[in-house]
């Protein structure tokens, strides 16, 4: 049962921007303001609120005073992000659905660029993004997808598209999919994975026409995801299980996206320990009894988190790899942040408001 507030419609829009939200009162207003500055009569905004307990409903309803074209559905109970995005697509009336995050921001003219791409009739459009700090004061990764130019992928390019885009598609906000295609595919098997869109996109039969926009049009608030506290379970178990469930792709292709058993990597375990996302609780819930990494994983769980944090920050400073800035940002914001990580953040000139 839902409480629904809908706009009167004189005709089906071309594009429905579908947002699943929960307890985002601090963020969703800015996201909606950015969207509505670009919305045209071809576009509707559909929001499914998974029974927020903060002021999200009040914020959205306040926005609706200014933009009555917003469609708002408040659920009686929280069904999880996968089900709520699926509901948003079902509530939508557009030919295409853009599965938009509830706290990120669009670059100017992003919607018009996506609409222009839809003229060619693709089944899927993937929109590139950049990664920013939580308050949008820092650009941590200016080009997340790293495609040099716009590209189209046909059915015969399915594995190439998988290897080049699947890791990026952990971010749902870059997905624009034909609504009829979404509804025709299996969705229930992917409820609870946190990546229903990936299951829909890569299940058989392969999509026939995929278009990628290489220019970053979305700014992502890094570290603001509601499931951040479950990061270890997600990236060590849920995500690899999903990627390796697709039978049509080779093991080499799947390994390009994610290792089958990421917890066999000492470096991976140490990083999760360094940001305070891995300890004995996560070891017991996710890894206990699983070989061949049982002993190493239990040993890493015993390392003091602040010590691991300092080691990781030192590594980032010495190596200065392309992702070092993002890693230091995460290390410095961790509850177990060491003095080394905070010093590294100053070396990277992070504003105090971001740490």
Q: pLDDT band at residue 355, thresholds of 50, 70 and 90?
A: confident
CB atoms within 10 A of CB 151: 17
What the block records as the tokens of 340 is: 């080394």
Please name every residue paired with 49 in a beta bridge, in sequence order, or none if there are none. Answer: 21, 74
Q: What is the pLDDT of residue 55?
A: 96
- Separation of alpha carbons 218 and 215, rounded Å: 9
- Separation of alpha carbons 180 and 354, rounded Å: 41
Where along the chain do the CATH 3.90.550.10 domains lie?
Answer: 2-221
pLDDT tens, 285-341? 998 877 666 788 999 999 999 999 999 999 999 987 778 999 999 999 999 999 999
Report whether pLDDT(1) > 70: no
Q: What is the pLDDT of residue 293?
A: 64
The residues near 15 (Cβ < 8 Å, ≥ 6 apart) are: 42, 43, 44, 94, 95, 96, 97, 98, 111, 114, 115, 118, 176
- Separation of alpha carbons 327 and 305, rounded Å: 15
pLDDT tens, 65-121? 999 889 999 999 999 999 999 999 999 999 999 999 999 999 999 999 999 999 999
Report whether pLDDT(219) > 80: yes
Cα-based distances in Å from 61 to 38, 76, 89, 235: 19, 17, 20, 35
Report whether pLDDT(234) > 50: yes
Q: Which of 36-45, 196-205, 220-229 has the lowest mean pLDDT?
A: 220-229
Q: Which of 119-133, 220-234, 239-253 has the lowest mean pLDDT?
A: 220-234
- Separation of alpha carbons 57 and 4, rounded Å: 12
Are the C-beta atoms of 212 and 146 separated by less than 8 Å? no
Q: What is the pLDDT of residue 302?
A: 95
Helix/strand/coil for 75: strand
Produce one character per residue of 35-67: b if its CB has 16 or more CB atoms within 10 Å, e if not: bbebbeebbbbbbbbbbbeeebbebbeebbeee
- Separation of alpha carbons 201 and 181, rounded Å: 9
Q: What is the pLDDT of residue 206?
A: 96
The residue count of the chain comes to 355
Mean pLDDT score across all residues of the chain = 93
User: DSSP assignment of 121-171, as one string?
Assistant: --SEEEEEEEEE-TTS--EEES-SS--SS-EEEEGGGHHHHHHHHTTGGGS
Please name every residue paired with 152 in a beta bridge, in sequence order, or none if there are none. Answer: 211
Listed residue (195, 250, 13, 31) closest to 118, CA to CA: 13
Report whether pLDDT(2) > 80: no
Report whether pLDDT(8) > 80: no
Q: What is the pLDDT of residue 10?
A: 47
Cα-based distances in Å from 319 to 131, 305, 324, 327, 349: 21, 21, 8, 12, 17
Helix axis angle for 56-66 and 28-36, nearest 10°, is: 20
Q: Which of 128-132, 223-227, 348-352 has the lowest mean pLDDT?
A: 223-227
Q: pLDDT band at residue 148, thresholds of 50, 70 and 90?
A: very high
Q: What is the pLDDT of residue 295?
A: 84
Q: pLDDT band at residue 352, thresholds of 50, 70 and 90?
A: confident
Listed residue (355, 344, 337, 313) closest to 137, CA to CA: 355
Report whether pLDDT(5) > 50: no
Q: What is the pLDDT of residue 230?
A: 86
CATH fold for domain 2-221: Spore Coat Polysaccharide Biosynthesis Protein SpsA; Chain A (3.90.550)
Place of tokens 């921007």: 17
Report whether pLDDT(3) > 80: no
Are the C-beta atoms of 92 and 46 separated by less than 8 Å? yes
- Strands (E) in the chain, as ranges, are 2-5, 15-21, 43-49, 70-75, 96-100, 105-106, 124-132, 139-141, 151-154, 175-178, 209-221
pLDDT tens, 182-215? 999 999 999 999 999 999 999 999 999 999 999 9
11 by Cβ neighbours in 10 Å (0-12 / 13-18 / 19+) ranks as exposed
What the block records as the tokens of 114 is: 């996506």
Q: What is the pLDDT of residue 323?
A: 85
pLDDT tens, 245-301? 999 999 999 999 999 999 999 999 999 999 999 999 999 999 887 766 678 899 999
Are the C-beta atoms of 84 and 50 separated by less than 8 Å? yes
């Amino acid at each position: 049962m839902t409480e629904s507030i809908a706009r009167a419609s004189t005709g089906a829009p071309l594009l429905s921007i579908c947002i699943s939200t929960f307890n985002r009162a601090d963020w969703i207003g800015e996201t909606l303001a950015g969207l509505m500055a670009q919305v045209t009569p071809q576009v509707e905004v559909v929001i499914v609120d998974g029974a927020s307990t903060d002021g999200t409903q009040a914020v959205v309803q306040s926005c609706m005073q200014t933009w009555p074209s917003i469609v708002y559905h408040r659920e009686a109970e929280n069904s999880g992000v996968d089900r709520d995005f699926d509901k948003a697509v079902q509530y939508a009336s557009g030919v295409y659905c853009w599965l938009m995050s509830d706290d990120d921001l669009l670059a100017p003219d992003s919607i018009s660029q996506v609409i222009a791409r839809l003229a060619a009739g693709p089944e899927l459009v993937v929109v590139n993004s950049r990664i920013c700090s939580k308050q949008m004061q820092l650009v941590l990764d200016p080009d997340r997808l790293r495609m040099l130019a716009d590209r189209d992928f046909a059915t015969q390019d399915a594995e190439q598209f998988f290897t080049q885009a699947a890791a990026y598609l952990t971010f749902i906000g870059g997905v624009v999919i034909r609504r009829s295609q979404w509804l025709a595919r299996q969705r229930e098997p992917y409820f609870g994975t946190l990546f229903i869109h990936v299951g829909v996109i890569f299940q058989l039969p392969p999509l026939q026409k995929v278009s990628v926009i290489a220019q970053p049009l979305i700014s992502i608030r890094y570290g603001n995801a509601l499931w951040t506290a479950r990061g270890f379970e997600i990236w060590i178990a849920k995500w690899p299980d999903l990627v390796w469930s697709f039978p049509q792709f080779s093991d080499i292709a799947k390994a390009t996206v994610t290792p089958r058993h990421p917890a066999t990597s000492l470096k991976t375990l140490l990083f999760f320990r360094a940001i305070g996302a891995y300890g004995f609780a996560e070891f017991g819930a996710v890894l206990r009894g699983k070989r061949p990494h049982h002993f190493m994983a239990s040993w890493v769980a015993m390392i003091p988190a602040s010590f691991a944090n300092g080691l990781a920050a030192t590594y980032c400073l010495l190596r200065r790899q392309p992702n070092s800035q993002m890693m230091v940002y995460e290390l410095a914001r961790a509850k177990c942040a060491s003095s080394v990580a905070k010093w590294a953040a100053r070396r990277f000139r992070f504003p105090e408001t971001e740490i």
